[in-house]
Amino acid sequence: GQQVMQIPQYQHVQEGEDFTTYCNSSTTLSNIQWYKQRPGGHPVFLIQLVKSGEVKKQKRLTFQFGEAKKNSSLHITATQTTDVGTYFCAGRAGTASKLTFGTGTRLQVTL
């Protein structure tokens, strides 16, 4: 079945440093979504990418969808303590009604 892997599993940065998480799917995706889960909370939708090579920005967050639609990345510029949490990508293959979630990257930010 479809698998979605994320690297790294965990990253610890100093506030102000940049952070990137990478997402790789075993199959071509029709779209990819990104979610953030704060410690003890539930996943919250951040963004969706649909087109090959698409790049979207939300303030300090930049999201990319690969040309082959099998990989994606999330880059945070100048991290803040409010960025702490686990970031998940989730991909949809074809016309499926379900998403396959990646394994997640846990981000810790210290002062």
Partner 1 sequence: NAGVTQTPKFQVLKTGQSMTLQCAQDMNHNSMYWYRQDPGMGLRLIYYSASEGTTDKGEVPNGYNVSRLNKREFSLRLESAAPSQTSVYFCASTGGADQPQHFGDGTRLSIL
Distance, in Å, from the CA atom of 32 to the CA atom of 23, rounded to the nearest integer, reads 10
Residues with Cβ within 8 Å of 59's Cβ and at least 6 positions away in sequence, in order, are none
**Residue number with CB closer to partner 1 (9 or 80):** 9
**Residues at the contact surface with partner 1, assessed by CB under 8 A:** 1, 6, 9, 30-31, 33, 35, 41-45, 48, 50, 88, 90, 92, 95-104, 106
Q: Min. distance of Cβ 53 from partner 1 in angstroms?
A: 18
Distance, in Å, from the CA atom of 56 to the CA atom of 23, rounded to the nearest integer, reads 16
Distance, in Å, from the CA atom of 1 to the CA atom of 27, rounded to the nearest integer, reads 9
Q: Min. distance of Cβ 31 from partner 1 in angstroms?
A: 6
**Residue number with CB closer to partner 1 (63 or 88):** 88
